[in-house]
A and B are shown apart, each in its own frame.
Chain A
Amino acid sequence: MSQVTDDEIAEATEQLGVEPSSAIIGRTPWQIFWSRFRKDRVALGAAGFLVFLVLVALFAPVIAEHVVHHGPNDLYRETLSDIGLPEVGPSVEFWFGVDTSGRDVFVRTIYGARTSLIVALLATGVAVLLGIILGSLAGFHGGWVDTVISRTIDIILSLPVLLFSIGIAATCSITAEGCLGGLVEPGVSLVTMIIALFTWPYIGRIVRGQVLSIREKEFIEAARSIGARSSRIMFRDILPNLAAPIIVYGTLIIPSNILFEAALSFLGVGIPPDTPSWGRMISEASRGQLYTVAWWMLLFPGIALVLTTLAFNLVGDGLRDALDPRTQVTG
């Protein structure tokens, strides 16, 4: 069965004396998706914000040094009172004020963007990868492999997440090498591992479900009947069909992972102190109700966190709407 090309349609309609409208020219699913996404202005705006955020994160060291002239861990102790309270709020010298150690809150906020982005994207990437691998294995092979993986998923989803995160983090913080022979150290690697550990089951379950349903479809049977190997079927026929749901759930997970990392940092078990993290900055501002004395320590990292999460949510929404054939996308 050959595909009718766009040119052939255009030619045919011309011969009929009718203007070929773009609606009947065949497009690939990706082209459809992209044009729909482009029409969603809110999502585009959010995507723009994310691009801006990535740029700020990338150039944070440059901004810190050449524009503001403060480092993220530079202590300006002259801005503190005798009892160690920050006396300088948003001002010309310190755009977002200082914290209780005399550090520039603006610089730490933009550095915090790096932490949030790196952790969220890395963790989500690992989670998605794990989810695809294990979910497909489970769905495709069935039998005891499926049972083991599905039961593992069930158990992980029943664990009290924060408690176990704290426990694992505490354990891995004690020795110099961390856990798993130095692979996992307190910091980005530990937080990434914890987040990935608790979020891959969501992807895994979805993937497994999709694989199961696709597996039964006729075109797979057809492929099998002509002697295609399992791995070929897996890669050429099943995986491409997973792309859409994975994008959907992946984008759902990124903002919640951003909040997850911030929550862990808030509880003191995430990123260690020298790396700025929004969650940790918020935690420092709320201990002892410090925000009653230095509101800027709470507001700026918090707003940054909300805006970033919001942007990811909007982009995610936009992507989902663009992928879903049933929703009508308007400008």
Chain B
Amino acid sequence: MVRYIIRRLLWVMVTLLVITLLTYLIFFVMPPTDPAINFAGKQPTEELVAEVKRQFGLDKPLLVQYGLFVKRIFLGDEYGWPGLGFSFSTRSELKPVIFERLLITVQLALGAAILWLLVGIPIGILSALRPRSIFDRFAMGFALFGVSTPVFFLGPVMLYIFWFQLGWLPGSGFYPIGQYGFWEWFSHMIMPWTVLALAFAAFYARMTRGNLIETMGEDYIRTARAKGLSERRVVLKHGLRSALTPIVTILGLDLGALLGGAIITETVFNLQGLGNYAIQSVFSGDLYAILDVTIIAAFFITFANLVVDVVYAFLDPRVRYT
């Protein structure tokens, strides 16, 4: 078991290193323009561009740059640990910015996750218990709309209805709870949470329903019923457990992906999260920021994968040997 975990951890490291290298390739090697030009002012002379390159560490060979970046992540740089570098645009350190942005993304992701679990799973369960009833049809219909409606459409529609026409909710933007109080923060998060949660809720409802229906057809459920247990006990105690296990793992993967930044939701609702920052950095050519955001996103995804795999390996010994 331990060996399995170690092997997977090593693989996580390798994945992150490869992803970093790919990021360098795509954002800094492939483009036929020199990013340093962007930061040398309005009329960048050759000397200015050269000096900018030198100060940003861009004049070194690719592999050296890459090696230095990796080293700084692990050992820290002049701003502390982990060494996230500095922003080319603001010339100041990235660590506080990234962590603040991450905090906001976490608030968005967790809030949405709670919402979609609270909505999606019960709907899925109820639908599974009454297959093909009116409730089931409506619920699955709603679920189908949910997975077919993208955030960048639903978001503006909700803003139009609830903010512009009805005035029930405030518009876009993020208002930190510490500075503005609970209601200001909460009212601004309702729509982003709802919109983000909708597609997931729909998906989880469908999945829960499907899994539960399948589980309910299993032999051991029939045995439980035959033993005389109440239907409720059968479902809640026996059926749910195995129906929900795959859901837990998917939840881990979804959260992992979201924590790297829900780019579109953050863009539509102007939330200062990591996803928003990622887009900004890509569009301004801010290398360390791009690398940091990518590493964090990839880290969450691979870590979530790792946790999920370890849990599975724990439950099913056969997995360890593949």
Contacts and interface: CB of A to CB of B under 8 A. Distances in A.
In-complex A–B contact (CB below 8 Å): yes
B156 A155 contact: no
A191 interface: no
Contact of A279 (B26, B152, B160): B152
B32 A175 contact: yes
A215 B158 CA distance: 51
Interface residues of B, number: 47
Contacts of B264: 162, 263, 266-267
Contacts of B157: 298-299, 302
Contact of A171 (B22, B26, B148, B297): B26
B70 to A, nearest CB: 16
B268 A286 contact: yes
Question: SS class of chain B's interface: helix, strand, loop or mixed?
Answer: helix
Interface string A159-174: 1101110111011001
Contacts of B148: 255, 259, 306, 309-310, 313
Nearest to B305: A158
A contact residues, range: 35 or more
A108 B186 CA distance: 38
A314 B144 CA distance: 8
B156 A160 contact: no
Interface in B260-308: 260-261, 263-264, 267-268, 275, 278-279, 282, 290, 293-294, 297-298, 301-302, 305
A253 B178 CA distance: 42
Nearest to B263: A162
A124 B163 CA distance: 38
A330 interface: yes
A166 B156 contact: no
A159 B144 CA distance: 27
B156 A285 contact: yes
A291 interface: yes
B267 A174 contact: no
Given A159-B22, A167-B26, A262-B150, A286 B156 contact: yes
Contact of B282 (A170, A285, A314, A317): A170
A267 B32 contact: no
A306 B305 contact: no
Given A267-B267, A285-B156, A305-B150, A166 B279 contact: yes
Query: In the complex, which of the residues B30, B31, B148, B290 has the most CB atoms of chain A within 10 Å of its own CB atom?
Result: B148
Query: In the complex, which of the residues A162, A170, A255, A306 has the most CB atoms of chain B within 10 Å of its own CB atom?
Result: A162
A89 B259 CA distance: 40
Interface of B: 11, 15, 18-19, 22-23, 26-27, 30-33, 132, 144-145, 147-150, 152-153, 155-157, 159-160, 164, 214, 217, 260-261, 263-264, 267-268, 275, 278-279, 282, 290, 293-294, 297-298, 301-302, 305
26 contacts: A154-B15, A155-B22, A159-B19, A160-B278, A160-B293, A163-B278, A163-B282, A163-B290, A163-B293, A164-B22, A164-B26, A170-B31, A175-B32, A263-B264, A266-B150, A266-B152, A267-B263, A282-B152, A283-B152, A295-B160, A298-B153, A302-B157, A309-B148, A314-B144, A317-B144, A326-B214
